[in-house]
Structures are given as structure tokens and as C-alpha cells.
Chain A
């Protein structure tokens, strides 16, 4: 039996459309691939959130992997991920630097006092200049920078323990043998 063209053509078009939909379902439209992955981390040096006389920046972690977490006290999803960040900090495998964006010092410091402080240091970026250099378009965002100073992973949206275990932790050097 030979199927007529008038059935075959719509069926084929339908199959192609379904193919697009299936691919589309599995992709997160909220995620824009960062062109920064694999590139050297943009250098910066900013005032410390807690101490305006102190400069903190990307040079603080020469030769070791570190995490940059973009947050602000105005950011609701940052509150949501805070527990996960505290847990990562407790693991003690990688230092977390905070990039405090579009915020006021007093509000940001109160947030850390209330919720706990997972950061080894926090850079204060009220105008969002450094955030633009890192291609940040909203908080929270989290970057993993390897020992060679390259950005190897980025998460847009709240960090969770699952995402940490799945996407980030495997990229770290194996934990030093400790008792």
C-alpha cells in the first residue's frame, strides 16, 4: 500500500513539530548560556561589605577554586538558597565570596547577622558594575572558578544541595584526606 503524498506531508510536518516540542520541554527557557564558561574570571577589586577600608576581589583566591555568589537583601530567592550556601560553607571544600549587588550596607549586614554568614568575604557592588562584567542579570547567581582562575560553572537562580552535588561538587578537586 502506498500512502498518498497528501497524508505523508502533514504527518512529516507534525513529526518535526513534535520533535521541536520535545527538545523545548527539556530546556529551561530561564537559563541563558553564559559566554563566560571556560574563560578567565573577570578581575575585580571592591570595598568589603563589612569594612569600607578593606579591598576584596578576584585576586584573593590565586591558585585555588572558589565560588562567587551574587546576592542582595532585596532578593527573595537569595533567602531561599541561604540554607544551601551555609551547608556548602560548612563542607569547607571551597571558599564562597559574596557579591552584594544593588544593596545598602546596613540592610545587607543585618541580613548576614540574622541568617548567618556563609561567605569568607563579601564585595560591595551597589551600582552593579562588577555584576555587569560577570554577565549577571539577576540574583541569585553562583559561579564556580577553578584553580586556574577560569569560570567553570554557573547557576542562575537559587542554589540547592541537589544542584550543588550534581553540577558543582564533581568539578572540585577530591577532598583532602581528613580523619
Chain B
């Protein structure tokens, strides 16, 4: 158990140590904004990494682009718009909520609802059996 916790912490530390940890902006607020932006953009070469975590050439180019656009006074929405115009929604680490992704976003809630439904059905059925004949549960718990 302890080993598992140590391993989990080590993995967490590994993800926290991004490739691009360099200071790009003097202003801490701007630096924080920069780091948030590059963490929300996907590296299209490595797919599961953000451009903050990837040391691919493309990721470096896109970080440079984010920095340049921030210096040019662009808003977050403008920077994300610039990226999706060129690379599609796939470049965003968080898929946008549009009709095409409704099922994706709703999936966790749907699975949870399905699970709750199953639990309710089973519990009620067992309660009914228990009320009718308490001994029956010990023999074959699932019998309808």
C-alpha cells in the first residue's frame, strides 16, 4: 500500500515537471496565463501530451506562437481560435461542448445513471424477496 502511494506521488511529480518550465514573462500573472494556455493545447505529434509537456519540435513552435500572440495582446479566446482554425478542435486538450461532443460529455453522467438504476432494481427486488421469505436470500440471492 505504501509502495503504491509512493509510486503515485512519483508519477504525479513526473507530470508536474513539464518540459517547458522556462520563465517567459516577467509578470507572474502573465507567466501563469502562459503556462495555463500551453497546458490546454495539445501537441499533435504526441497526441496525449500538451505542448507544455512535449519536447517535439512542433510543440516548441506552438509555444513560441502562444508567447508571441500573448505579447501582441491577443485574448485567450483569440489564441485558442487561432489554433483551432489551423489544427481543428483536436488541438484543445478539453473538447468543446458542441452537438458532436454531447454524447462524450454526457457519458459519465449516463454511466452513473445506469449504475444507479441497476442498484435500485437489485435492491428493490431483494427487498421484495426478503419481505416474502427471508430464508430465500441465503440460498439463491439473484433469483427473480
Which residues from chain A sit less than 8 Å from chain B, CB to CB?
A: 4, 32-36, 102, 127-128, 131-135, 137-138
Contact = CB atoms under 8 A, between A and B. Distances in A.
A131 B84 CA distance: 14
Interface of B: 44-45, 57-58, 61-62, 65, 84-88, 90, 144
Given A34-B88, A102-B57, A132-B86, A137 B65 contact: no
Contacts of A35: 84-88
Q: Is the interface of A mostly helix, strand, loop or mixed?
A: loop
Main secondary structure of the interface of B (DSSP, over half): helix
A104 to B, nearest CB: 14
A34 B84 CA distance: 10
Contacts of B144: 4
Contacts of B86: 35-36, 132-135
A138 B54 CA distance: 14
A6 B71 CA distance: 61
A7 B61 CA distance: 54
24 contacts: A4-B144, A32-B90, A33-B88, A33-B90, A34-B88, A35-B85, A35-B87, A35-B88, A102-B57, A127-B61, A128-B57, A128-B58, A128-B61, A132-B62, A132-B65, A132-B86, A134-B86, A135-B87, A135-B88, A137-B45, A137-B58, A137-B87, A138-B44, A138-B45
Given A32-B88, A133-B86, A137-B44, 4 more contacts: A33-B88, A132-B65, A137-B45, A137-B87
